[in-house]
Amino acid sequence: MRDAVVVMAVPGGGGGGGGSASSAAAAPCAACKLLRRRCAAGCVFAPYFPPGEPHKFANVHKVFGASNVSKLLQEIPAQHRGDAVSSLVYEANARVRDPVYGCVGAISSLQEQVEALQAQLALAQAEMVRLRMTNDYIVHRLKAASRAGGGGSSYAGSPSSMSSPKTAEPEAHCKATPELLDMVVDQPGMDDAHFWSSY
């Protein structure tokens, strides 16, 4: 009897650690935990709603219902279920934030932003075309002017030609020529003494 008890006690002691590990490994998913039911081995929610993300399934269950989500996932191929769950979670969170429009409001806002950016892009492209045309016109005028100049004329090349003729005129008027002196000397009523005394 003592041997039988010992034999039974050893499996019981060793099974305690294995039982805790199996219970930790078999932790219910967030969906089953929220629904307060046993999480089976082939639970359709388990791969997509881990135990550490309870709010992820809570919003989905609140908006769509657990039974509808379960039917939807069972009808979708396994390779597409992850994308479907992501879409459901996004739409459910948007519906919780905006009960009236949901994700439609977010999509409309994004579409308005895209249209505004497209208008800004069109304006920028039109401005680029205008600047390019202006640049081409200026280059064409400069080339035409260089061809019309004949490759270095006397006007463009000699520094003396750049001086204004108005600056040379005072020198011509101020120069004492013999004709001017004769006109001054021949003036009536003016003798030599008066002429030279005035200077």
| pLDDT tens figures, 54-68 | 888 999 999 999 999
Radius of gyration of the chain (CA): 51
Across the range 83-88, mean pLDDT stands at 92
So where are the chain's domains?
30-97, 104-146
So what's the pLDDT on residue 2?
A: 41
Question: pLDDT-based confidence at 125, cuts 50/70/90?
Answer: very high
Residue 55 to residues 164, 185, 192, Cα–Cα distance (Å): 88, 120, 123
- The DSSP output letter for 160 is G
Whether 105 contacts 94, CB under 8 Å: yes
Neighbours of 57 (CB within 10 A): 26
Select from 69, 113, 124 the least CA-distant residue to 91: 69
Question: pLDDT-based confidence at 134, cuts 50/70/90?
Answer: very high
So what's the pLDDT on residue 151?
A: 54
Whether pLDDT at 90 is above 60:
yes
Neighbours of 59 (CB within 10 A): 19
pTM reported for the whole predicted model: 0.48
| pLDDT tens figures, 112-124 | 999 999 999 999 9
Dist. CA 34–CA 45, nearest whole Å: 11
How is the chain split among helix, strand and coil, in percent rounded to 5?
75, 0, 25
So what's the pLDDT on residue 26?
A: 63
Whether 72 contacts 84, CB under 8 Å: yes
Residue recorded with tokens 């202006």: 134
Contacts of 88 (CB under 8 A, 6+ apart): 60, 64, 69, 72
So what's the pLDDT on residue 11?
A: 40
Question: pLDDT-based confidence at 10, cuts 50/70/90?
Answer: very low
